[in-house]
Structure 1
Amino acid sequence: MIRLTRYEFVKIMTRKSIYLALTGLLMLLVLYAYLGHPGPMNGTSFYKPYEGAITAEKVQAAQEQLQNKGYSDEANQNRYGVFYEISLFSPEFIKNYTKTDDSGNVMERTVNVTEIHYNKPWGYLLEYIDQFGVLFMMIMILLGLAPVFAEEYALGTAALVRSSKRGKSQIVSAKLMASIVYIVLCVILFTSINLLIYWLRFGNLAGADTPIQSVGMYFQSFDYEYSPYRLSALQYYFVQLVTHLAGSLIFGCVVLWVSSLSSTAFVAIIINVAIVGVPYLAFDVMNFNPGWAKWIEEFSFSTMMRVTRLFQTPVNYSIFRVEVSYLQLYLLIMTVVTAVVVLGTYRAFRNREVFS
């Protein structure tokens, strides 16, 4: 079985399209990191005088600075970012500011940020998995796994493979295991390069022990401000990474299932692009947001790969009078979907040989 899995893994890794896409994606990753955010990025010196508890004196100084200088100059984001955060997390602002969820209910902060610390590198690391990491993994999974079964049909080798000594089920298992190894390697590669780039850009990874609620993505966007999870930036980074990997594996299983039903790799890629691309274009690009379609956005495959939405706010659902969190319900649905598509892949490859 190990030898068969190794053979299937080699078949995946010898596809030239993978390396062409990998080269292009890594170039985009580096160019965006250096050109999208030009100039020095280490703002430790700006935060150091204000680190620690948020006092009335710090709040007053922050408000004066923001009124005098503003916060629009990108070159001075680090300099004025500390003043913005002091004001945002000041007791007075938190007391007077309320935020509601989609149902109109007032959201409560599980964790109150009472201290200011520099943690900007983690904002960029988390942002990259949420944004570029999803694009990277989707393209690599589509190019690597869409041909796994469809190629056998297109080349006419499906019937020969199915009648071999290893039988139908063992071959499918080997393809699944090889695909899992491929996905894990892709996630490790992206994560390693992402860490290296931003360690070099910032010169440090400061603020790893600060609460996730205080980490700003895009400097002014504190996506986890109302997160119910008590995690540090480093702890959440690993949670995000594991969740991103799990989402990538689930999407990989879907791609394999579609491949087992498709006559060519091209058809499999088109169908899979539609599965993940249509919801993204509708909800994120075109702002299509009717109430009846909200569940599609909340439980799409890309949601788990992006991770952010799952840990952002304390959303709960009532299922047969049992209260479950959004994260629990999503994981339950994805577990069922994964079991269905894996079993469907075995069944499809056993029962179908020729595609017209």
Structure 2
Amino acid sequence: MYKHECYKIFTRKSIYVVLALVLALMVYAERVPADWNTASDIYGELYEELGGPVTEEKELYVREQMEASDAQELGTYTERDRIAGEVYYLVSLAGQGLQENNERQNELKEQMNRLSASSYDYRVAEKELGILKEVESSYGFYIVQAWLGMFHFIEPFFSVMLLAILILIGLSPVFADEFTQRTTGLILATKHGKRHLVTAKLMAAVTYIVTVFLSLHIFNFILQLNKYGGIQGWNAPIQSLNTASPYSNYFNSPFAWEVWQFYVVTLSVQLFGSVAFAILVLSVSVFTRNALVTFFVSGVILGLPRVMNVIGSEYKWAHFVTSFSYMETLRIERLFASFNAYNVLGQPILYPVLQVIIYTMLSVGLIWFIYRVFRKHQVSY
């Protein structure tokens, strides 16, 4: 039964049409050559001199160089000047981050001295202080452009919507088509047919999600490898993933991970979010019994919190709903960008941990709902 359910999902032509369009968009988005390849020698020289964790000596040197550059009269602005300016800026920014980290630690220590050790505010301050101490040595200059390219595919709203569309197209008909084609009666009339059918469909849906998810990210990995000629910076701290782009800015992240570790974590959480959203789609499919209605209802559930945040951004409840939505679970960025803890029974729980807990419980509840609907379903002719 599992193989048959996989066959029904993977033989839908619409999936391959959309997947082909997504891959074409990915290639188109990477059409601009990387400046980092042509300037690799210059970056290599600067990295030898200024790369690694920031120090007072490095910070003082780049500030002197930046002041000297600003004081010079206008002249020829070379490629090396541009690259050096970018590197000096990143080193200076790392120094600023280290200074802000130390200042925040001092603020938290003063705050804890005024608080009762049994209070929730004390526990939050203590947790944040411990995290800041761990990331204190994470500020510096590293070459991580290829990794930035890989993270840029995980986080943007547009990329998440492409992934969501593939999930919706592939899974909206999973249960709905059985009712539309009136084939449920034949299956449900068999011994244990109800339970086996649901199990097979859930397993097939997860197989589809994993296949599509890995295909997209492996394809993007190949694109970035080809564009940058390597994956330098795999062991750099994630605080070095900071750019002028609105994505991949983890300068204030509270996690002391290396880039490759963070990449594994983000892929795992996004895959988890994809499976959680897939379970939602299946539950809507079994409830509505119509593939088109399932597609739009599931899409509204995914996108509505973002709309609510835009039109009700001044309300705290709208921000809360948006923070704990399927969209944020798929987007990843806000989960790990900064320190954010919530009060759960008097204990501060980090935002990404709480997000995973909530959607694990919700997904288990939806799976129970699917089994219950089919157990109560009566065979009709």
Instruction: State TM-score, norm by structure 1.
Output: 0.86
Bigger mean CA deviation after superposition, 176-185 or 51-60: 51-60
Q: State the secondary structure of the residue aligned to 1:209.
A: coil
Q: State the secondary structure of the residue aligned to 1:90.
A: helix
Q: Which residue does 1:292 correspond to in 2?
A: 317
Q: State the secondary structure of the residue aligned to 2:35.
A: coil
Give matches, 1:123-138, under 5 Å: 123-131=148-156, 132-138=158-164
Q: Which residue does 2:99 correspond to in 1?
A: 94
Give matches, 1:11-22, under 5 Å: 11-22=8-19
Instruction: Pick from 251, 270, 283 the counterpart of residue 296 of structure 2.
Output: 270
Is 1:58 the counterpart of 2:84? The answer is no
How far apart are 1:95 and its partner, in Å?
A: 4.6
1:49-87 Cα distance to aligned partner (Å, 9 max, x none): 232454111232245457879xxxxxx975543122112
CA distance in 2, matches of 1:33, 1:286: 33
Instruction: Pick from 325, 329, 350 the counterpart of residue 304 of structure 1.
Output: 329
Instruction: Pick from 38, 41, 54 the counterpart of residue 45 of structure 1.
Output: 41
The aligned amino acid for 2:22 is L
Is 1:251 the counterpart of 2:247? The answer is no
Q: Give the conservation status (yes or no) of the 8 Å contact 1:62–1:87.
A: no
Instruction: Pick from 28, 31, 38 the counterpart of residue 31 of structure 1.
Output: 28
- Number of aligned positions between the proteins: 342
How far apart are 1:304 and its partner, in Å?
A: 1.5
Q: Give the conservation status (yes or no) of the 8 Å contact 1:317–1:326.
A: yes
For structure 1, the 5+ residue unaligned runs are 70-75
1:199-229 Cα distance to aligned partner (Å, 9 max, x none): 1111111111100011124558662122221
How far apart are 1:345 and its partner, in Å?
A: 1.0
Bigger mean CA deviation after superposition, 308-317 or 256-265: 308-317
Q: Which residue does 2:214 correspond to in 1?
A: 188
CA distance in 1, matches of 2:17, 2:268: 27
How far apart are 1:140 and its partner, in Å?
A: 1.1
Q: Which residue does 1:73 correspond to in 2?
A: none
Is 1:206 the counterpart of 2:232? The answer is yes
CA distance in 2, matches of 1:219, 1:77: 18
CA distance in 1, matches of 2:235, 2:346: 38
Q: Which residue does 2:110 correspond to in 1?
A: none
CA distance in 2, matches of 1:281, 1:66: 44
Q: State the secondary structure of the residue aligned to 2:349.
A: strand
How far apart are 1:166 and its partner, in Å?
A: 4.6
The aligned amino acid for 2:179 is Y
1:226-271 Cα distance to aligned partner (Å, 9 max, x none): 2221111111001111111111010110010000001310000010
CA distance in 2, matches of 1:161, 1:66: 76
Q: Give the conservation status (yes or no) of the 8 Å contact 1:279–1:300.
A: yes
CA distance in 2, matches of 1:67, 1:317: 48
CA distance in 2, matches of 1:287, 1:217: 29
Q: Give the conservation status (yes or no) of the 8 Å contact 1:120–1:216.
A: no
How far apart are 1:129 and its partner, in Å?
A: 0.7
CA distance in 1, matches of 2:216, 2:97: 41
The aligned amino acid for 2:327 is S
How far apart are 1:287 and its partner, in Å?
A: 7.3
Bigger mean CA deviation after superposition, 233-242 or 160-169: 160-169
CA distance in 2, matches of 1:8, 1:168: 14
CA distance in 2, matches of 1:158, 1:226: 52
CA distance in 2, matches of 1:288, 1:67: 44
CA distance in 1, matches of 2:13, 2:368: 30
Q: Which residue does 1:347 correspond to in 2?
A: 372
CA distance in 2, matches of 1:25, 1:210: 30
How far apart are 1:292 and its partner, in Å?
A: 1.9
Q: Give the conservation status (yes or no) of the 8 Å contact 2:341–2:348.
A: yes
1:74-127 Cα distance to aligned partner (Å, 9 max, x none): xx9755431221121125983599899xx9x99874523443121121112112
For structure 2, the 5+ residue unaligned runs are 75-80, 108-120
How far apart are 1:323 and its partner, in Å?
A: 2.3
Q: Which residue does 1:72 correspond to in 2?
A: none
CA distance in 1, matches of 2:325, 2:213: 20
Bigger mean CA deviation after superposition, 6-15 or 317-326: 317-326
CA distance in 1, matches of 2:359, 2:296: 22
Give matches, 1:296-335, under 5 Å: 296-335=321-360
Instruction: State TM-score, norm by structure 2.
Output: 0.80
- Using the aligned pairs only, state the percent identity: 29
How far apart are 1:332 and its partner, in Å?
A: 1.7
Q: Which residue does 1:121 correspond to in 2?
A: 146
Q: State the secondary structure of the residue aligned to 2:30.
A: helix
Q: State the secondary structure of the residue aligned to 1:83.
A: helix
